[in-house]
Amino acid sequence: GAGVSQSPSNKVTEKGKDVELRCDPISGHTALYWYRQSLGQGLEFLIYFQGNSAPDKSGLPSDRFSAERTGGSVSTLTIQRTQQEDSAVYLCASSGSGRAWNTGELFFGEGSRLTVL
């Protein structure tokens, strides 16, 4: 499809396991964001990629969290040694360059719901 695609849509894991969440942005979009949303809460910024620039990792909550973006397209968010407080919906968003980026319009995927038991 033409939208932001995330997988898996749901992930249940045991405490201490590693998980990988994938995001496939809209084709041609240079900016990619990861946010986390806990139940009933707002969006917590995690990390931002823009083109070939160094990513803004200022929102990653601990060194258990990392993300990469290969070839300026697909991104993977990895959470090592998961904890129960990591349970949330992880949202990926992308936006275009130039005027589209300046509008602040982020196009969100449907999210990956992570449950850590």
Partner 1 sequence: QKEVEQNSGPLSVPEGAIASLNCTYSDRGSQSFFWYRQYSGKSPELIMSIYSNGDKEDGRFTAQLNKASQYVSLLIRDSQPSDSATYLCAVRGFGNEKLTFGTGTRLTIIP
Binding residues for partner 1, rule: CB under 8 A, are 31, 33, 35, 41-45, 48, 50, 56, 58-59, 91, 102-106, 108-111
Q: How far is the CB of 109 from partner 1 (least distance, A)?
A: 7
First to last CA, the chain: 32
Q: Please, what's the b/e burial string for 44-65 (b: 16 or more CB within 10 A of its CB; e: otherwise)?
A: eebbbbbeeeebeeeebeeeeb
Of the pair 1, 14, the CB lying nearest partner 1 is at 1
Of the pair 48, 65, the CB lying nearest partner 1 is at 48
Of the pair 49, 79, the CB lying nearest partner 1 is at 49
At residue 99, what are phi and psi to the nearest 5 degrees? -60, -40
